Amino acid sequence: MSEVLFEYISLGNAVKITAIDADSHIEAVVVAPLGLSETQMQKLALDKLNYIINNKDCG
């Protein structure tokens, strides 16, 4: 994974964060409280993206 793109959409008191692997086009979506920092939001989405990529052949 060389590059990850992040998209943020405000949903009232929460934020929907989408992390997209630029190479594989695999996406992960998380919803986080509005009070988290951008770094914390990115970490949540990136952790989920890594989980999806590492387990995509297990199902």
pLDDT tens for each residue of 5-49: 999 999 999 999 999 999 999 999 999 999 999 999 999 999 999
Question: How far apart are alpha carbons 57 and 36 in whole angstroms?
Answer: 32
Question: How far apart are alpha carbons 29 and 32 in whole angstroms?
Answer: 10
Q: Residue 13: what pLDDT?
A: 95
Contact 41, 8 (CB under 8 A): yes
Q: What is the pTM of this model?
A: 0.88
Q: Which amino acid is at 20?
A: I
Structural domain spans, the chain: 4-55
- pLDDT greater than 60 at residue 59: no
